[in-house]
Amino acid sequence: MEAYKRWVRQNKDFVHSLESLANGLTWLLPERFSESEIGPEAVTTVLGIVTAINEHIIDTAPDQDRQGSVEPYSFPYPLCLSALKDLETLVEVVAQHYYGDDNKWNFLAVTEATKVLVRLSLFRKSGYKMLLHGGETSNDKEQLDSSTSQYRAGLEPDGHHSSGYLSSNLGANSMNAERRALSALSRFGEKAKSVSNPAWLRRVQHHQAITKPTTSRVDRPTLSTILSEKGLRGALFLIGEVLFISRPLIYVLLIRKYGNRSWTPWFVSLAIDCIGNSILSLVTTSAAGVKNQMCDLSPLEKDEVKRRKLLFVLYLMRDPFFTKYTRQRLESTEKVLEPIPVIGFLTAKLVELVIGAQTRYTYMSGS
């Protein structure tokens, strides 16, 4: 297993290309989106799980664990969630084949409930940070990496500022001189301390540093500390994240009760997403000029906010909206482009794939 890990980490670009090719070819498998597609879907599931394992191996490479202030999780939550998402499609296909369209929602409800429990556990373990891609991406080091990369962008390899940096920032930011002065004072203090300490004391301190554990424990915020320190904004943020986590389960339970053709699950799910995104926008934008850690989003968290807004497009692909409106538009477009030799063929194939994928809840769930 260690040899495989080393090979994946050393050839990660090749692994990514191979995985993309294999996953793309699965859409061309025979009997895809047919009544008995357990075999092709099993192949897709296995490839997805293998891809998730390889990504986990790459993400947990030793050279990426340089920040001792970050406490690694003992349980691989991102890997577990990725495997559950890949397995959910196979569960849907098998349940539909053996138990029918109506009873498959029982199995999907169990799968979604499992994902909700894992995500809530990850949400608590991470110190109630925003879940990236539903918890499949770690939200631990991006803020420090971003600030470090911005600082290093103006440095030469030897650690000094480049001429371009000086020419563009000299006189533009008066804080640079203050920071350089503080840095010089800090280095002077460290040198003075090392000179004043006798050799025997430095040896004792070095021995103590070796014997102490190298990883430092991080005090992650708890629910009570967030509510006491962040107040209403912290409570709203927690409510928004819990709504985002639990929305797929509520949607499946409503479909199980009212049916896939009912507008009730569609409208309730849309309302939950609208409320959750509105709360997140309120928390992150209404505190202009107020220093609030809960409102300071990292670049990856900002991308996550945009991704969640893009998920609203999936409501065009969910029944009953798809059957009443979207499918008619697709079929009319196919008829218009059908006389064109190449474009007509590609459009027909694309519409066929879209209609086939829409029949699967897991492809359009956004969970």
> pLDDT tens for residues 35-87?
557 777 777 778 778 887 877 777 777 754 444 444 444 688 888 998 898 89
Higher pLDDT, 190 or 358: 358
Average pLDDT over residues 186-191: 46
Q: What percent of the chain has pLDDT over 90?
A: 30
Average pLDDT, the chain: 74
Q: Measured between alpha carbons, how far is 367 from 364 in angstroms, rounded to an integer?
A: 8
Of 144-158, 323-337, 345-359, minimum mean pLDDT range: 144-158
How confident is the model at residue 20, as a pLDDT?
Answer: 74
How confident is the model at residue 26, as a pLDDT?
Answer: 65
How confident is the model at residue 76, as a pLDDT?
Answer: 86
Q: Measured between alpha carbons, how far is 329 from 345 in angstroms, rounded to an integer?
A: 17
Average pLDDT over residues 102-113: 94
Q: What 3-state class would DSSP assign to 137?
A: strand
Query: For residue 142, which of 13, 320, 303 has the smallest C-alpha distance?
Result: 303
Query: What single-letter amino acid sits at 312?
Result: F
Average pLDDT over residues 125-135: 89
Burial bucket for residue 16 (CB in 10 Å: 0-12, 13-18, 19+): middle
- Separation of CA 79 from chain center: 11
Q: Measured between alpha carbons, how far is 130 from 122 in angstroms, rounded to an integer?
A: 10
Q: Which helix (H) or strand (E) holds 108?
A: helix 77-125
Give the CA distances from residue 36 to residues 97, 272, 355, 361, in Å, rounded to whole numbers and listed in that order. 7, 34, 17, 16
Burial bucket for residue 88 (CB in 10 Å: 0-12, 13-18, 19+): buried
**DSSP sequence for 180-236:** HHHHHHHHHHHHHHHHHS-HHHHHHHHHHHHHS-SSPPP----HHHHHHHHHHHHHH
Q: Measured between alpha carbons, how far is 289 from 10 in angstroms, rounded to an integer?
A: 46
Q: Measured between alpha carbons, how far is 326 from 352 in angstroms, rounded to an integer?
A: 13
Residue 224 has pLDDT above 90, yes or no: no
Average pLDDT over residues 283-305: 69
Q: Measured between alpha carbons, how far is 76 from 172 in angstroms, rounded to an integer?
A: 46
Length of the chain: 367
Q: Report yes or no on whether pTM surpasses 0.75.
A: no
Task: Tell me the two tokens of residue 127.
Answer: 């110190």
Predicted confidence (pLDDT) per residue in 310-339, tens digit: 999 999 999 999 999 999 999 999 999 988
- 160-189 burial by CB neighbour count: b if 16+ within 10 A, else e? eeeeeeeeeeeeeeeebeeeeeeeeeeeee
Q: What 3-state class would DSSP assign to 118?
A: helix
State in Å, rounded, how far the first CA of the chain is from the last one: 31
Predicted confidence (pLDDT) per residue in 163-173, tens digit: 343 334 434 44
Task: Tell me the two tokens of residue 208.
Answer: 């103590």
